[in-house]
Chains A and B, each alone.
Chain A
């Protein structure tokens, strides 16, 4: 069954201004999330190497990079699905009000996961359980996490489905995931993630399997909902153009190391790291005549590699690039880790 969804247009036009407008960062004292020198190791491999970034309340942050950059690993660490002692973890993850969650155990995470931090997974059709109805999957967290009664949970579930733009919400509760289209499944996932009003929403490539028109709907929906709740969102993305549209700040990762980070407008308009510039050079615009692809290659995660992990693929390598790792330093409105940056 392919569902009809002609009327699913949300009252999105009622939003006062274009979503492109950024809320100016207020000089707030305490960020919602502060990740400092986070390293994650598995055996001999160092998967994340001294990752540092922070996210203010109400802000959006994009984790960018090719596959294998450690984007999803960071997301899984932030929701406590990759924890000690399964992996070696050092550094701190300060979640406002919860302390250093890098040290938290499963008991502590059970109180945080879903309530403070929620996640929208990449593949909605795999993340939703095919054996249970949408209603059951949506109402279970409402009853268990939020402690609502059966009837209250049902009412809230309908409300949530309506807020993510699913028409005919009451009858959707008894539908199974396979009866919904990909876009609708993604909306259900967003509704589940939002059901407990999290402060921090992690969206791991939420639209990579969807058509562009549905992608625009979903990204807009996530931005509207997080803004309305003044919660924050971390997007895991590989599309730089999309990141420039929906993220206030970005972190460009390669092989688990932060290459360049800062406000997306500054970093993406004039990248200083050769890797950011190379990624930008791969993005197709409608008037792109020539592409300048990066040479092939994959990062080495061997923990003993001393230098910059991007050096083997870099066109601007100096001798010291392989010998020592460049520190993340403040340069022209951003943080940059490169010995030989573009100017």
Chain B
């Protein structure tokens, strides 16, 4: 096992060409939509990283780049120091085996015509990880590990509850003995009680099996519970990153502060909400992308774009006028 990071993103940019409105079909100008703009991230072995942001912040595009489903238009996306897009042969097989994905829509990601046994065994068969005779035992062990009774094996997706489905999706992800789990909103849309069970399961798995975890979420509470590190995204950029506890205790970026204030907390008065919505990523104004909604914006915010700069070994943020973050900020 090397100590090199599992994933490394070097200034990854992903731009889409979209057609502008107006004009005729042929004269219509093409405009660039930058879904990701200079993202720099790494995931070390055994580490858990949360990617947090609102819809439209580029979380899903980031995920597609990491899984090699989309090629970045600029910058490099590396898996164990090799470009994800160029993986071929055994490297590609290893990548597919080592990186397991838990999708947001568990019901949609599982084939309704396959039994739970076949669903969980599919990665085993694909990677030829066990003999035919062992197949059933391996699935039994996986189902037990995620807290499902082995009798579930003969069931179909339509007969499972939301929580059971997530467990099947997790068992399926674990089947290929991955070293990294990538989860996209794996607990959204569940009851709090079921969410708590799944989160506990994921944390236990991560700790016991030494897995790396990349968890995409919009819920800061989930990020705090599950992940050592956090990266907050806004409009295709990482605006703040660092150790989760430190960041949430005293965020430096006003956007992180706003997200924190908007999260429901017991008996706290409802905060002054952040004005407006995430603007369109097409034709962004110059300067900081958040300036238009920021309460601390000053004139230079509209002209100069801040870069993600490290402030301490465990903290980095992209803001010209950050909040005081060395001591817990007054609330």
Contact = CB atoms under 8 A, between A and B. Distances in A.
Given A217-B273, A245-B270, A288-B225, A294 B196 contact: yes
Nearest to B191: A66
A5 B279 contact: yes
A285 B277 contact: no
A: interface residue count bin: 35 or more
A244 B270 CA distance: 10
Interface string B255-287: 000111111111111111111110111100000
A6 B297 CA distance: 14
A209 to B, nearest CB: 9
B139 interface: no
Contacts of A281: 196
B276 A284 contact: no
Contacts of A4: 279-280
A211 interface: yes
Contacts of A214: 54, 277
Contacts of A21: 269
A212 B259 contact: yes
Interface in A1-23: 1-10, 12-13, 18-21
Interface in B215-262: 218-222, 224-225, 248-249, 258-262
B275 A19 contact: no
Interface in A240-270: 240-242, 244-246, 265, 268-269
Interface string A43-78: 000000000000000000000001100000000000
Given A12-B273, A291-B200, A294-B196, A284 B267 contact: no
A274 interface: no
Interface in B55-106: 55-56
B94 to A, nearest CB: 34
B277 to A, nearest CB: 4
B222 A239 contact: no
A212 B263 contact: yes
A228 to B, nearest CB: 16
A336 B59 CA distance: 44
A6 B279 contact: yes
Interface string A152-184: 000000000000000000000000000001111
Given A19-B270, A245-B264, A265-B267, A239 B279 contact: no
A286 B163 CA distance: 23
Contact of B276 (A9, A278, A285, A291): A9
Contact of A6 (B196, B264, B293): B293
A212 B262 contact: yes
B193 A284 contact: no
B269 A245 contact: yes
Contacts of A240: 192, 266
A167 to B, nearest CB: 9
A244 B279 contact: no
B306 interface: no
B224 A288 contact: yes
Contacts of A239: 192, 264
Contacts of A293: 193, 196-197, 200
Given A213-B54, A216-B262, A216-B273, A291 B225 contact: yes
A145 B281 CA distance: 41
Interface string B110-132: 00000000000000000000000
Nearest to A13: B272
B292 interface: yes
Given A216-B273, A246-B270, A296-B163, A285 B265 contact: yes
B140 interface: no
B276 A8 contact: yes
Contacts of A182: 55
A341 B270 CA distance: 31
B58 to A, nearest CB: 13
A72 to B, nearest CB: 13
B141 interface: no
Interface string B169-199: 0000000000000000000010111111101
Contacts of B196: 281-282, 284, 291-294
Contact of A213 (B193, B222, B259, B281): B259
A255 B231 CA distance: 40
A302 interface: no
A279 interface: yes
14 contacts: A2-B281, A4-B280, A6-B279, A7-B275, A7-B276, A8-B275, A8-B277, A182-B55, A208-B189, A213-B262, A213-B274, A216-B274, A241-B265, A245-B266
Given A1-B21, A5-B276, 15 more contacts: A5-B277, A8-B276, A18-B270, A20-B268, A20-B270, A211-B54, A212-B264, A215-B262, A245-B265, A245-B268, A282-B196, A284-B199, A286-B260, A288-B221, A291-B225
Interface of B: 21, 54-56, 161, 163, 189, 191-197, 199-200, 218-222, 224-225, 248-249, 258-277, 279-282, 292-293
